[in-house]
Amino acid sequence: MPPIHRATHRIGLYLATLREGGLSQGEAHILALLATKAPATVAELHQGLAHKRSTLTSILDRLVERALVTRTVGTTDRRTFVITPTARGRAVAARVSRHLAALEHAVSRRVTRGDVRAFLKVIEVVGAEAHARTHDGKRTPG
């Protein structure tokens, strides 16, 4: 298995160690984003996480059902939905965010600043290539 796939899988396993009642990786990432940017529109969440719209809607449905977020119609644009964490959701989001920050901090103690800069450059290109190959019609494998 390529290291990037193994690492993303292990991050999912790391998130699963949170005692948050079985949050999925997608739910955890949305809550982590909301910990720093809330309230957020569905479009902002889509931009931040790049989930398919249907996947994002499904995840938000589960978070609403679990009373971790509310979904309301935008006041300035009624076509927009605004996602706001509830009090309980803010607490869970803060724990998820701290959990991810702890992982990043542990990693930063084992690498140099140059390593981090190079990694960020590579991961940015990986994201851009994956985006281009799924959204710009370049669905060829090579």
Average pLDDT, the chain: 89
Q: Is residue 68 part of a domain?
A: yes
CATH of the domain at 53: 1.10.10.10
User: What pLDDT, on a 0 to 100 scale, did the predictor assign at position 135?
Assistant: 61
- Residue 115: inside a domain: no
d(CA 101, CA 54): 28
Q: Indicate whether 141 belongs to any domain.
A: no
74 part of a folded domain: yes
**CA nearest to 59, candidates 95, 19, 24:** 24
What pTM did the predictor assign?
A: 0.83
Q: What is the DSSP letter of 43?
A: H
Q: What is the pLDDT of residue 141?
A: 53
Total count of domains within the chain: 1
In a domain, 42, yes or no: yes
Domain assignment present for residue 139? The answer is no
Domain residue limits at 26: 3-110
Judged against a pLDDT cut of 50, whether residue 137 lies above it is answered with: no
Q: What is the torsion angle, in degrees rounded to the nearest 10, for the CA atoms of residue 119, residue 120, residue 121 and residue 124?
A: 120
Q: What is the CA radius of gyration of the chain?
A: 17
Angle 57-59-63 from CA coordinates, rounded to 5°: 110
Which pair of tokens denotes residue 83?
């996602």
Q: Does some domain include residue 137?
A: no
For 39-48, 98-107, 110-119, which range has the lowest pLDDT when averaged over its residues? 39-48
Q: Compute φ and ψ for 67, nearest 5 degrees.
A: 60, 35
